[in-house]
Amino acid sequence: MADTTAGSQDSPEAESDFELGDTSNFELSEYLLFDDLMEEDHSAFLASEFAQNPIHPGNEVDKPGSSSSQHERPASRNSESGQKKKEAKERVAFITKSEIEILDDGFKWRKYGKKMVKNSPNPRNYYRCSVDGCNVKKRVERDREDPKYVITTYEGIHNHESPSKF
DNA sequence: CGAATTTGACCTGCGC
DNA sequence: GCGCAGGTCAAATTCG
């Protein structure tokens, strides 16, 4: 699973019902239900489950009307001033059935924040690609009803090859 | 010693 | 206008 499309999106075939009412800022949102579980026995089962229920109701993974707020921090804090480049970031959410959220996908991630969300009793972890130049972010959060499931949301595309592997 | 991780504080955006 | 929620950064600490 290390290679799991590390670097590029695989065949997109999960988006459709996700209608973004406000596409002013967003242009693409693909949600791939992936289960890189080692026990294919369960993965197959889960796959069916997700097929019926993509995500539990009230999923905050993507709210079509909630407006996609792009957090553009003003240059106030940022050293770069006057440079606000809003690049359309690819957002891909993966649902993995695992007890650990430290899934090694072949990239080096540095945790830069943790936050408790109201929607889930579990904290949400924020990771960032440690590779310089790669501004890919990863959001890891446990399922609200099934702590065994981990929702990993990738934001951005890796502009480099995997540091490890190969 | 260096890099990575941790926790708290701070800021921004939206809703009411 | 204020409050809430979410997200990010920074400083301190720990592990390798």
φ/ψ of residue A26, rounded to 5:
-95, 145
**If you ran DSSP here, which 8-state letter would residue A50 be given?**
H
For residue A151, what are the CA distances in angstroms to A41, A89, A108, A155? 20, 18, 18, 13
Protein contacts on strand C: list nucleotides below 7 Å from a Cβ. Answer: 4-10
Residue A152 within a domain: yes
Total number of domains in chain A: 1
Containing H/E element for A43?
Answer: helix A40-52
User: In which domain, by residue range, is A149 found?
Assistant: 95-157
CA of A126 to C1' of C7 (A): 9
Compute the distance between CA of residue A132 and CA of residue A129 in angstroms, rounded to an integer: 8
Prediction pTM value: 0.62
pLDDT of A111 reads 92
> Which of A149, A136, A159, A153 has the alpha carbon at shortest distance from A68?
A153
pLDDT of A96 reads 72
Pairing of strands A91-97, A109-116: unpaired
Residue A83 within a domain: no
The reply to whether A76 Cβ lies less than 7 angstroms from strand B is yes
Residue by residue, pLDDT tens for chain A (166 residues) are: 544 444 444 433 333 333 433 333 333 334 444 444 444 434 433 433 333 333 333 333 443 333 333 444 444 444 444 444 444 556 677 777 666 666 666 788 899 999 988 877 888 999 988 877 777 888 888 887 777 778 888 888 766 765 444 4
Query: Domain holding A135: CATH number?
Result: 2.20.25.80
Residue A68 within a domain: no
CA of A5 to C1' of B11 (A): 35
Protein contacts on strand B: list nucleotides below 7 Å from a Cβ. Answer: 4-9, 11-15
Residue A47 within a domain: no
